[in-house]
Amino acid sequence: MPPRLGILAGGGTLPALLVDTCIRQRRPFFVIAFEGQADAALVAARPDGQAVPHAWVRVGAAGRAVRLLRREGVRDLVMAGRMRRPSLVSLRPDLWALRFLLRHCGLKRGDDALLRALIEALGEEGFTVVGVDSLLPDLVAQAGVLGAVQPDAAALADVRLGVEAALSIGARDVGQAAVARRGRVIGREGREGTDAMLAACAGERPGTPSGVLVKMAKPGQERRVDLPAIGLGTIAAAARAGLAGIAVEAGGALLVERDGLIAAADAAGLFVIGVEATEGRP
C-alpha cells in the first residue's frame, strides 16, 4: 500500500477529487485544510457517513501543519487548490513560517520561486512532495481539440500569439495565462489571477465571440505544484468575456471535472484545445 498522503488543500474542486481518489483506492490520507482558502464541504461528513480525516490550519501556522502531518504518519504531500496570497499582516507567521520567509526573501519572490523553496523545506522535514498530475493523470490535457467546437484560422492565430505572451510572462515568474483577440494581446495574468484578467477583458466584449484564453506552465516551472488548470468557472468566465475558446498546454495543464468542463464548453460554443508549448499550435 502506498504511504499515507497529506493533502494541503486550498480552494476549488481539486482537493475533493484527491480525497475521492484516496477513498476509492483505499489509500490512507489526511487533509490540512487552510483557513480562509479551503471549502468547508471538502472535510464535511460524506454521504456514506465516512469521516474525512483533517485539521483546519491557518496559512501562517506552517509549524503546526508539519507537526500534525508527522503525528498522522504522512510521508507524501500534494498541494492542491487555489491559494490567495495573504498579506504579511494577515499571515501572522509562526516560527517555522517566519524562518522560511526570512530565509527566502519573504513574499517578494515570484510564486514558482517560493514554491520551489517550500518543496525544498518540506523535503528537509522528511516529506516527499508529489504532483497532482501523478495522482489524477486523467485530468492532464492532451493535444488537439477536446470538444465538439472547432477553432477557425483566426482563432488558431490568436492561440499562437497567446502562447507566446503566456510563456513570456511565465518566464518572468509573473503568471501563466494571456488573452489574445484578433491579432492583439489584450490581457496578461498578474498576481490577481486568471479570473481577474478575464473580468477585465469582459469590458472589451465584442459583438461576435472572438479571442482565446491561453494557459501555459511557466518555462522551467516546478511541475509538482501550481500546474495551470481550468474548470467550470473558467468556462463561464471565458464566455462572459466573449471569447471563442481556451487553449491549454498539452501535458502541462489540468482539466478539472474534465467531462463536465467539455460539455459546458460545447454548450457555450467555446472550443477547448491542447497545444504544445514548443510550437504554440495544435
Tell me what pLDDT residue 279 has: 54
- Please determine, for residue 118, whether its predicted confidence score (pLDDT) is greater than 50: yes
Amino acid at 129: V
Give the fold, CATH level 3, of 140-275: Cytidine Deaminase; domain 2 (3.40.140)
> Given pLDDT bands bounded at 50, 70 and 90, which one contains residue 88?
low
* Stretch(es) of the chain classified as CATH 3.40.50.20: 5-135
Which position has the higher pLDDT, 111 or 51? Answer: 51
- Please determine, for residue 79, whether its predicted confidence score (pLDDT) is greater than 70: yes
Beta bridge partners of 254: 140, 229
Match 516527499 to its residue by C-alpha cell: 128
Tell me what pLDDT residue 46 has: 77
Q: What percent of the chain has pLDDT over 70?
A: 95
Q: What is the pLDDT of residues 32-52, one digit of tens each?
A: 999 999 999 999 877 777 789
Q: What is the pLDDT of residues 62-77, one digit of tens each?
A: 999 999 999 999 999 9
Centroid of chain to Cα 195: 12
> Given pLDDT bands bounded at 50, 70 and 90, which one contains residue 112?
confident
Tell me what pLDDT residue 272 has: 98
Tell if the pTM clears 0.85, that is, is over it.
yes
C-alpha to C-alpha distance for 121 and 214, rounded to whole angstroms: 32
Give the fold, CATH level 3, of 5-135: Rossmann fold (3.40.50)
* Stretch(es) of the chain classified as CATH 3.40.140.80: 140-275
**What are the grid coordinates assigned to 176, written together?**
501563466
Tell me what pLDDT residue 282 has: 43
Tell me what pLDDT residue 110 has: 63
**What are the grid coordinates assigned to 73, written together?**
504518519
Tell me what pLDDT residue 107 has: 47
Q: What is the pLDDT of residues 20-35, one digit of tens each?
A: 999 999 999 999 999 9
Tell me what pLDDT residue 115 has: 83
Q: Residue range 199-214: average pLDDT?
A: 87
> Given pLDDT bands bounded at 50, 70 and 90, which one contains residue 165?
very high
- Please determine, for residue 134, whether its predicted confidence score (pLDDT) is greater than 70: yes
Tell me what pLDDT residue 237 has: 95
Q: Which of 228, 191, 223, 197 is nearest to 212 (CA)?
A: 197
Q: What is the pLDDT of residues 212-242, one digit of tens each?
A: 999 999 998 888 988 999 999 999 999 999 9
> Which residue intervals of 148-278 are DSSP H helices?
153-171, 194-202, 232-240, 258-268
